[in-house]
Structure 1
Amino acid sequence: MSHTILIVDDEVRLLDVLGGTLEAQGYRALTAESGSAAIDLLERESVDLVLTDLRMPGMSGQTLLTEIRRRHPTMPVIIMTAYSTVRDAVQAIKDGAHDYIDKPIEIDHLNRALANALKLQDALRDNERLRQELAGRYKFDMLLGVSASFQKVIRAISEVCEQKTTVLITGESGTGKEVVARAIHFNSPRQRKPFVAVNCAAIPENLLESEFFGHVKGSFTGAVANRAGRFAQAEGGTLFLDEVGDMPLALQAKILRVLQERAYEPVGATASRAADVRIVAATNRDLKAMVASGDFREDLYYRLAVFPIALPPLRERVEDIPPLLKRFSDELGYSLGRRNVAFSPDAVRALTSYRWPGNIRELQNCVERSLISARGGVIEASDLPPYLFERQAPRTDQPSFPIDLDAALADYERRQILAALKQVDGVQVKAAELLGINERSLWHRVKKLDITVVKTASAR
């Protein structure tokens, strides 16, 4: 990244020498022969750092420093002077100078001072950018949707975000459950505290307890130091339990205890620790059915589902697709260098006719692919992915009642899993991807349905 440095000095020759030296090192150098000229230049140019002489006719470097602090509070200023005294140095630092160097200038000293100041400036800018992105990304107006079903979700978020209530977000994969969880956090009194997300399906079962509650040194083989768990990391903030339906029963009991007693014990610890953490959980599974089958604790379900929010699939909020297309094309177009790209009426009709099994995540991927494929300023139907136009066979299976629904669902699930396993030669990771679930969830289903997984020779 090329930084712009403004050099201010009444000695024209020094300006030329310093400017040339800095440009030879990759900086962009601007020069001003007086403090007033520097102020004018700062109003017109984007500057990363000011390097100014202390003693100049007219506006002194000290006065310029004060004016820069007033107009640009975070801009680093380095003072240079031939009249080096401890008093001058101390006063310049007190007034907000980042550093102080002597004339005649040693280039190595100057380079170190510039590098340190610019590194700090870049960090401050990154922090501010991230803060603004988080603040903007999770404002209510960023939760885009005009449909009645999604407006119901917005109302629910607005009702619960100010409370400490535990929230359970349900919905198919790709419907935006984590986005809603973050919106609840960043619009709550806990917004300045941590938001910690945990994918319950992605952590090895033998590490789950340590991951959530932490451990003390020596509590098990490999515990070479104390480690803070996710509850400790989220202290004062929000802990987001994603894929909570994939949590093992043994851990469910421990999470239930935290919700009941607001306390937990790190692995190997002898005393409990208080937990000031708000829980927001999410799942794409039917927890009520899992409770009925004994795969999820009923008492934990009711602790989590104090305030349920059900996210509708995209196929049930078709009227939200056009504004979502605009949002994604603007955001993705900026990063891809394809700004102000629109969708033709034919393209919009094709997109609103599709069923979107992957929901908003699939729509976003589709927009990105279309932006890459399209050549002009309008995305035509021909620029869309071909799979959008593949006709789905109409459903003709009309069951005769009464039926054993549980058995029918189990049979359908078994057939789909077996077909996926056959297609990928028995490799469960790949089968899980085809089925749109994680590997652990597939393992549980294979075990429940007593499916024998056979790998072909080519997969071994």
Structure 2
Amino acid sequence: MSHSILVVDDEVRLADVLAAALEDLGFRATAVHSARAALGELEQARFDLVLTDLRLPVMDGRELLREVRSRWPEVPVIIITAFAAVRDAVDLVKEGAFDYIAKPFEIDDVSATIRRALRLADVVRDNERLRSELEGRYSFDTLVGNSASFRRVIEQVTEVCETKATVLLNGESGTGKELVAKAIHFNSPRRDKPFVVVNCAAIPEPLLESELFGHVKGAFTGALANRTGRFAAADGGTLFLDEIGDMPLPIQAKLLRVIQERSFEPVGATRTQTVDVRLVAATHKDMRQAVDKGSFREDLFYRLNVFPIVLPPLRDRADDVPLLATHFLAELAEGMGKRASGFSPAALAAMTAYDWPGNIRELHNCIERAVIVAKAPTIDAGDLPQDLFNATRRGDRDSLPRDLDAELERIERDFILEALRRSDGVQVRAAKLLGIAERSLWHRIKKLGIRLGRAIAD
């Protein structure tokens, strides 16, 4: 899409000719003849750049610049000035103008300056968007769940994220250990520094030491150049050691030294490097049992186990399944560009009754498949994988609820309460999160007897 430019000049003919020339160059240009008119246009429509003459009646280009920088700081301003006033224009650049163009000018010079300003503005805008997405993606809101066991996880993350403490995450495969590690990092003072991941089980033992600590050229056969290790790459930030329970014993000894002394030597090097790295480790193994068997160093375990967090399996947080399913549905439907407004009661009942041996990862894959195959906006039981119906249901209860109406009402209540909490009680936003009309949400709130107030109550 072409960029939109606002041209401001009290010489009507010059403004109109300049706007027409910019249109010929592929821009969308609007010409106005006073600073007040320019502010009016900016209030009504979005512009990517303002190109203004310095000498304007009533409110001049300097005042317009200040107003634009104050109200629309993301919009670059280019000043057009007579050659005699170039010194004024230089001062304006110091005050926030992107650049200036001296009269008389060639349209090619104007075009080149505009394109430079737009390129920089686009980069800044993209960086802000990516930063916003990153912060949103790893905020506590992405740790979805209302069960008592998962609320405890969120409480622990809140307690530890602002500290420098080493964290050990323990939980079955697929329970979201990396997501929790990222939430800890991106809500900590280290959020602007690197978050580096190493899967200790995925890297062969002969390569793991070099991967973690780096190596110098000629340290071993095939070491053709110096290599920076993950510890050095994570300096100032967080290093996430996934599947730490699979780390070979010789590497464990070197890791212990790094934790104790905050220093290490790359493979083949004689000089010591110091690092400031926060460690978050994760494993699906029983680490105390591994220590007893001699497969994991006891001293390293105690160094890692400063702040342990246990992530519950999804089968132990069945109440969270509808909330997670809705979260994944919104995320995946948007990514695929498909309309998906929710789940049928039968689909929710099937997902809630299933044991989810693959935990959150399996649920995510299930919803992804359902979004792909669904023909209607509402995901039905037939859109779900057959495994959900063939597998053995939750062991401690019957495969079917004793009171289906009560079970569905409980699920519906949980959905609505969570949506209201996330939207701070604003029903329009809650209805949008649930994919239903505001009037429909109002009727359901009334039917379920949900009390609205400062604290959403059952």
If the length of structure 1 is used for normalisation, what is the TM-score? Answer: 0.78
Of residues 223-232 and 46-55 in structure 1, the stretch that sits farther from structure 2 once superposed is 223-232
Give the residue type in structure 2 aligned to 1:10: D
Matches within 5 A, 1:309-328: 309-328=309-328
SS in structure 2 at match of 1:308: strand
Q: For the residues of structure 2 that align with 1:216 and 1:85, how far apart are their CA atoms?
A: 58
Partner of 2:158: 158
Q: For the residues of structure 1 that align with 2:173 and 2:118, how far apart are their CA atoms?
A: 43
Any gaps of 5 or more consecutive residues in structure 2?
396-458
After superposition, the Cα gap between the structure-2 partners of 1:360 and 1:394, relative to the gap in structure 1 and judged at 3 Å, is closer
Partner of 2:59: 59
Q: For the residues of structure 2 that align with 1:270 and 1:312, how far apart are their CA atoms?
A: 44
Partner of 2:139: 139
Q: Does 1:79 align with 2:108?
A: no
Would the aligned equivalents of 1:333 and 1:341 in 2 still touch at CA under 8 Å?
Answer: no
SS in structure 2 at match of 1:198: strand
Give the residue type in structure 1 aligned to 2:308: P
After superposition, the Cα gap between the structure-2 partners of 1:103 and 1:333, relative to the gap in structure 1 and judged at 3 Å, is farther
Q: For the residues of structure 2 that align with 1:36 and 1:277, how far apart are their CA atoms?
A: 53
Partner of 1:417: none
SS in structure 2 at match of 1:78: strand
Q: For the residues of structure 1 that align with 2:273 and 2:378, how far apart are their CA atoms?
A: 58
Would the aligned equivalents of 1:36 and 1:59 in 2 still touch at CA under 8 Å?
Answer: yes
Matches within 5 A, 1:111-122: 111-122=111-122
If the length of structure 2 is used for normalisation, what is the TM-score? Answer: 0.78
Q: For the residues of structure 1 that align with 2:28 and 2:374, how far apart are their CA atoms?
A: 36
After superposition, the Cα gap between the structure-2 partners of 1:330 and 1:393, relative to the gap in structure 1 and judged at 3 Å, is closer
Structure 1, residues 99-141: CA drift from partner, whole Å, max 9, x if none? 1123444333233222221222122122222222333333333
Measure how far apart 1:245 and its partner are. Answer: 2.4
Q: For the residues of structure 2 that align with 1:252 and 1:192, how far apart are their CA atoms?
A: 29
Q: For the residues of structure 2 that align with 1:37 and 1:371, how far apart are their CA atoms?
A: 48
Measure how far apart 1:218 and its partner are. Answer: 5.0
Q: Does 1:173 align with 2:147?
A: no
Q: For the residues of structure 1 that align with 2:221 and 2:3, how far apart are their CA atoms?
A: 49
Matches within 5 A, 1:270-419: 270-338=270-338, 341-392=341-392
Q: For the residues of structure 1 that align with 2:19 and 2:361, how far apart are their CA atoms?
A: 49
Measure how far apart 1:24 and its partner are. Answer: 4.2
Partner of 1:257: 257
Measure how far apart 1:217 and its partner are. Answer: 4.8
Give the residue type in structure 2 aligned to 1:324: L
Q: For the residues of structure 1 that align with 2:248 and 2:26, how far apart are their CA atoms?
A: 56
Measure how far apart 1:152 and its partner are. Answer: 1.8
After superposition, the Cα gap between the structure-2 partners of 1:338 and 1:31, relative to the gap in structure 1 and judged at 3 Å, is farther
Partner of 1:432: none
After superposition, the Cα gap between the structure-2 partners of 1:394 and 1:361, relative to the gap in structure 1 and judged at 3 Å, is closer
Between the aligned residues of both structures, percent identity stands at 62
Q: For the residues of structure 1 that align with 2:382 and 2:340, how far apart are their CA atoms?
A: 19
Would the aligned equivalents of 1:330 and 1:339 in 2 still touch at CA under 8 Å?
Answer: no
After superposition, the Cα gap between the structure-2 partners of 1:220 and 1:321, relative to the gap in structure 1 and judged at 3 Å, is same
Measure how far apart 1:373 and its partner are. Answer: 2.6
Measure how far apart 1:268 and its partner are. Answer: 3.2
After superposition, the Cα gap between the structure-2 partners of 1:29 and 1:144, relative to the gap in structure 1 and judged at 3 Å, is same
SS in structure 2 at match of 1:56: coil
Q: Does 1:101 align with 2:73?
A: no
SS in structure 2 at match of 1:90: helix
After superposition, the Cα gap between the structure-2 partners of 1:52 and 1:154, relative to the gap in structure 1 and judged at 3 Å, is same
Q: For the residues of structure 1 that align with 2:89 and 2:218, how far apart are their CA atoms?
A: 51
After superposition, the Cα gap between the structure-2 partners of 1:105 and 1:205, relative to the gap in structure 1 and judged at 3 Å, is farther
Partner of 1:437: none
SS in structure 2 at match of 1:188: coil
SS in structure 2 at match of 1:129: helix
Q: For the residues of structure 2 that align with 1:361 and 1:217, how far apart are their CA atoms?
A: 40
Q: For the residues of structure 2 that align with 1:15 and 1:372, how far apart are their CA atoms?
A: 52
- CA-atom RMSD in angstroms: 2.6
Structure 1, residues 285-308: CA drift from partner, whole Å, max 9, x if none? 333444344433333222212222
Matches within 5 A, 1:124-273: 124-220=124-220, 226-273=226-273
